Structure 1
């Protein structure tokens, strides 16, 4: 993370997502080695530029607002090139870049003028890979504001890498992408840190200060480690570019210890940059990687939290010590990286949750008793939900555990979440089975309470399992908390009996033991009678016995067991206890034919 230069004080941090983009003018000034001329710029040179897109004539053209389209392999005199220019203008590109190769681009330039898009030309002898690398380097020096907040946070590997490097260097470490988003940072106890680094970590982005741009240009142009002395209240820093070949991907910054950066730490910094490159490259080019990072963050939230609700975060690399002058690559690649990623508040940013925004959790599970096939069913269920969300709810994140597949729905209230769940069930059931159930939580705004969030979804699923299918035998629709709140309350009261068995009524314990040993049906008799609110005839019909038989059984219960069923509190306590361990038939009118 850069420090402020000597000729300018550190400014106030910009609001998230309001950072200025680069411009064509800055691009022309920052990449003189590849830009030959600007044949036309209808909107002038002070138009925003937020990145580059390499385009092959055979590929579809993606939408990329304010990007520069590199027309690789295009003949500027081919009428098809004019078609691509018109499409680029429609999709929001700022400019197209071509190589003239001795041809006259007049027709293409006229088309660009009419569409309002600029045309840039590159030197014929400069490889397109170098063109893209130098343009990316020039843009990175100025920040690419349009992408603010969209870059994915680093995965567990990058956080663990930052932790290990900080232990070697002695100071806080930050890994940044080309938009100067902080994608990962170290969390080593006692590491040296200053106010600028803390600000960048909190905002997950480095404040855009003009004087810092020279520092980023210097780091991205240098082949090795670049060091910056301490200034004002900012500590000395060392930085290195993260590259894939000649293509810049980001930067890696380490605050130096009080006695300066050792040769060992400098070598570790270079090694870390090489190890970070494939992770930043995948994040840059692969939507699937972004989905995986979101899924991993969501799964970390679901699987547990610390005392304050934050997801536990590994302190560093597992089995990756130091080797010679750098990082132990055998430890990194052999033993693997161990870390749970960013804490839950940062996971919220990765999952697309804005502060204070409502979200719901939908949970899907196979019918109870799936047996050994349950794990395979859950894997299939997760895959179907991922495909459904990709097509219909791109902002949603899906993750499966051993119990259920969960879907996080940002910006969603209960009614919308239920509509989503019902639509998903219509897709899931033909693929996985009619027994799949869906639960929808209340709207929440705090991802820092993951245990409560997941428990609520699990409670609804449990209540739906106990309720079974509707009387007509049709698969049940998605269930919300309001549908089964009473069942959740009773289940949780029953859970307390499981946690503290001494709370059970001795009369109920004796009654259940008698049924097991003697083959009697006293538990079912009491449950049926309680379910029918003391109506002997209705209870007898449930059990398909004569009412006198039911009366006789109730008299025997009073004689044999210390259970005062005339006391309403005892009746309630007995019913709570019995419903956990015994069952009562449905009324005859509710039974399936």
Structure 2
């Protein structure tokens, strides 16, 4: 154990058997009063929460006619008070073990009717801050439930690094030993975990916990002070002074970096921030942060490099990590139907979008899962490389899925400035075809990249011609013996004489030999184009009245145009 690791404390933690359960009280305490507030709990707040789901108005309508058990915790996203009240009235008629134990809503604190309906149904009602982002709250809840499912090693072990702690536990430990309020963030400044807040929390901390961006003026100040540069370049603990004008208090911050063999530079995984409250930070707060940084690096890298069992199962379902799954077992584990029309959607950043590197795209996985879960509760999603994939089960129509995909792409571009393309495989008749559908989706994304932005969203059926033609060109390009050497003379002639015989031939072929139409496109006289076509035939040695010669020339010219488009500066 290193010197910095010894600065962290040793505190007991209760376990139940091999796993620690989480109650509603513990969950709300972890989420903090800045995000949630318990309005009412008819059965008490010590009920166990083991499952969570997002629901919208369409989900509520579907659940009214269903008697299957509901998840323990439901997040009402965009659900109006009137429809929520009607839903609670139906829930009250269900058997107790088929009811949810709690519901989170942004309107819970202001609606007496909603509170009354929830109490009659025996369901706890939790108010979510109106400014909290659902795509922030949902992953936090999932993280807390995942934490409860894992065995919690006792923090009293001599070596803290040997324990299976998590980021929420680490944040609490750091807060206790630094005397401040802690938040752990990823590389995109999204909060991963945090300690409890008190009255001394400033607006910046509150906004961060709610999933909102801090004041831009403060971010500019941090940039001016060189805070971000120091975090990227070193393991130093940076002391960020208070800024009374902006209402921010003093903070200490350290980067979370992973060092690996063979890599000249460490991988930046995030940051740990400690806000000072009404009392000064402890004298060894900087040492606590350095030790916490080492532990956080292990926790985060382990999560990145070793996905959960469910995540691995989903990736194998999509054909990654060796593929090959037992369909009935996967259906049972993920609660998916074995058969029935489904859809597989693939999302990819555009080649022209320099603002969306792979690392940033991967960080948007939780937002995509949020959208997918809201559209279809049974959906599963994953990120493989620089692409994201979503399975939408149960009788999805091509029209409905396409409309949803377009909406998702628009929201990513508007809210996150990430420009995406998408391909849809539908229908996928059973789970055993998901991996094959993903391969087809990849073929479409590979084959339609050049048609962006016309092809923002496409299906396999719509893009079959472009995909097959692109793959034929790839095949020809990969085999030099399939290149027609006669075209070299034509390219050399154009380069030497600054002429446009290639362009003229392409226009002539595109207009099926209609000289007048091709000449109008090129804005030249028809006789000029006739002369150019004769020169092309002479130089290349082809007869453009012959269908085989026309097909070969068009294929070779298309291949050359694609190569030219990929050259720098073209």
TM-score band (shorter)?
Answer: 0.3 to 0.5
TM (norm. structure 1) is 0.42
Task: Give the TM-score of the pair, scaled to structure 2.
Answer: 0.43
The structure with the largest alpha-carbon Rg is: 1
